[in-house]
Structure 1
């Protein structure tokens, strides 16, 4: 029993899926048959192929789908031109899709599996989205706290800078006071004449 792949789709696999689905549309086949064929060739489930087609690949081939439908209609009209009048009337009741009688139980089950797989993957995406929203809210809350701490640190830094400037100013004033005191001491030195007429230094 081969292992069913669940890894990411490549561009080549998307291209193969598109080619097979478009060929089935042109030839009047069903998309379910296309999904089963691609699933066999890529070792994937038909449900996974259906989900990939409906959720992503189909959007890339809108013009290709329209062209394939036109070609299917042209092919159908070409076949009908060879029928008798009675056959034409019978074909008026036929749609471009295969008859209901052609639907096997296996195809119905596969179709339901595609829907179920799509729903399951959608549910998983919803859960993942909720988890991501919670994660984002948590990170935003954490970032707000970091911003508050940053603002507090900036305020403290400014306070420290102001205190440092004030300290420098105090030290500068103290230095100037020491210089002035030295100058005052020097200015207090006086000279006077002694009895012999010589100058002598007098300190107060």
Structure 2
């Protein structure tokens, strides 16, 4: 048996390569960035990672790639542009002045304090929502990762099942041919045998 090549890829390395590439596809990154990231972790060149992906690993994750592309489209639809930071003081002044004008009142220090307190409450509420959103995103990523592995495993098992079915059909065909050969041989032997009556009136077997 030939010795294992030192640059041979292990199953864990293939899994890492697939995971990183699929993540970059899902998040809108490039495959080159994925190859460079994997290369750093495995002490391999980006070119070696790219060759391994295109020559072997990519074929094992066709369904995972399609899923990642679909999720990338969904993420783009859901993305909301980040609001640019704004100056607090002009906004406060404008809103307080508007309120004062509408109510026919003068801008007072207490009105400004009240407005700041309401802004602070809104900010606290937004912070809680942001933390919940981050947790949800992390959970989604973890579920997506499991989905990739399950999709790849399903694809592998489907190929194995197809191969088993083909082997089974081949075995049935071989058994059928063997059965026919046995039947033909039996018929041939029967045709070569005949019986004749001897002097005493008994039947005796005579080969043709």
TM range (shorter): 0.3 to 0.5
TM-score by length of 2: 0.44
TM-score by length of 1: 0.45
